[in-house]
Amino acid sequence: MGIIDEKYKSYAENIKIFAANGNEVTNNDTIMCTGMTVLLMDGGQIKESATVAVKGDVTGEGIASVADARMILRYAAGLDKFSDIQLLAGDLTGAGSVGAAEARTVLRYNAKLADRL
């Protein structure tokens, strides 16, 4: 499934999606990534704006990979800082924090020891 599902195509002209680098996403095969911005437009006016947080995707390429687990561990060890949206994407337990438990979950998911994040 692309960014805009077929059943929402009629609304597509009112939705704009921007990558974290600010470039508008026009390719319907692009996957949603942490840090993307979705705008609901009314004519030329922005009616609503939301920033995307993909569960487990703190690196911002749209999937929860071993690289995300590494980054989560670096954050937990105080070696890296996270933005608010990275904290939201990385908090897999809903406890309001990101730590080793989240890294473990991402690694288990990638090793196919867990079927979801």
Nearer CB in complex with Ca ion: 21/45: 21
Q: CA-CA distances (angstroms) from residue 5 to 2, 16, 28, 31?
A: 6, 14, 9, 12
Minimum separation from the CB atom of position 71 to Ca ion (A): 8
**Strand 45-51, strand 15-18: pairing:** unpaired
Residues 66-85 that bind Ca ion (CB under 5 A): 68
Minimum separation from the CB atom of position 65 to Ca ion (A): 5
Whole-angstrom distance, CA of residue 56 vs CA of residue 59: 9
Contact status: 102 vs Ca ion (CB under 5 A): no
- Let me know the angle formed at the C-alpha of 68 by 102 and 38, rounded to the nearest 5 degrees: 100
Q: Kind and range of the H or E element at 67?
A: helix 66-76
Q: Which two tokens stand for residue 101?
A: 């438990």
Nearer CB in complex with Ca ion: 66/100: 66
Minimum separation from the CB atom of position 60 to Ca ion (A): 6
Minimum separation from the CB atom of position 110 to Ca ion (A): 11
Residues 47-66 that bind Ca ion (CB under 5 A): 57, 59, 61
Query: Where along the sequence are the contacts to Ca ion (CB under 5 A)?
Result: 57, 59, 61, 68
